[in-house]
């Protein structure tokens, strides 16, 4: 079969089944609320949200590759562009863009304003340390790990804390070489 041409995020988003974003928003809110009640410490909640994101990311990458027709990205730059342009659009219907590259091309920022997770949300004084959208950073970390890139993802801007946009800094820590041949029997 010839390789499928990469599709734009908009085209994929238009073709997949969708649900009302409010159901998504409120369900996410219910999760965060449960975590805050169960774990009490804001730092623990951040960790758990990141872990949940990671769990999603390692599975979501399969659907992403299957539906997007994106082939191997030559470098980290290409990868970041694909996450912002195709990944964000295809799953949550928002547009993001990549900026703030460092000199050696291993660290950049993904910036976006629309974010269905935070509709109706305001951080109370007791939760100022909460990275409310931490699930997103976990997703990116998990998904990239499945394509041999070990990354660190951190929030540098957060609209819930009064910034003018959401900004995720993605830092490539290590590119794990793929090993051939695969040994099936191990």
Partner 1 sequence: MIGVGKIKQYSNVLDKPLSKGKQEVSLSAFAFLFSELVQYNQTQVDNISELERSRLEDAGYAVGARVLELLCHRDKGNRREMRLLGILSFVHSTVWKVLFGKVADSLEKGTEHEDEYMISEKELLVNRFISIPKDMGTFNCGAFVAGIVRGVLDSAGFPAVVTAHFVPVEGQQRPRTTILIKFAEEVLVREARLG
Closest CA to 175 of 105, 111, 97: 105
* Preceding amide of 88 cis, omega within 30: no
- Residues 6 or more apart whose CB falls under 8 angstroms from that of 10 comprise 89
Q: Is 173 in the site for partner 1 (CB under 8 A)?
A: no
User: Within the chain, what is the greatest distance between any pair of CA atoms?
Assistant: 56
Q: Is 40 in the site for partner 1 (CB under 8 A)?
A: no
Q: What are the CA-CA distances from residue 2 to residues 71, 91, 149 (Å)?
A: 12, 26, 26
The smaller minimum CB distance to partner 1, of residues 60 and 170, is found at: 60
Q: Is 161 in the site for partner 1 (CB under 8 A)?
A: no
Q: Is 127 in the site for partner 1 (CB under 8 A)?
A: no
The smaller minimum CB distance to partner 1, of residues 4 and 16, is found at: 16
Chain residues binding partner 1 by CB under 8 A are 13, 16-24, 26-31, 33-35, 38, 48, 52, 55-56, 59-60, 63, 90-93, 95-97, 99, 111-114, 116, 119-122, 135, 159, 162, 164-165, 167
């Amino acid at each position: 079969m010839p390789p499928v041409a990469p599709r734009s995020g908009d085209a994929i988003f238009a073709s997949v089944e969708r649900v009302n974003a409010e159901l998504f928003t409120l369900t996410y809110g219910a999760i965060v609320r449960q975590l805050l009640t169960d774990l009490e410490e804001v730092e623990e909640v951040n960790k758990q949200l990141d872990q949940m994101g990671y769990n999603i990311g390692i599975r979501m990458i399969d659907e992403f590759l299957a539906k997007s027709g994106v082939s191997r990205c030559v470098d980290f730059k290409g990868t970041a562009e694909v996450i912002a342009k195709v990944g964000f659009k295809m799953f949550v219907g928002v547009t993001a863009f990549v900026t703030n590259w460092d000199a050696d091309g291993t660290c950049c920022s993904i910036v976006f304003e629309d974010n269905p997770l935070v509709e109706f949300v305001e951080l109370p004084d007791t939760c100022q340390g909460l990275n409310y959208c931490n699930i997103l950073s976990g997703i990116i970390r998990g998904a990239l790990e499945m394509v041999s890139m070990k990354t660190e993802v951190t929030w540098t801007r957060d609209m819930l804390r009064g910034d003018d946009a959401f900004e995720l800094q993605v830092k490539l820590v290590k590119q794990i070489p793929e090993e051939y041949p695969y040994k099936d029997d191990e």
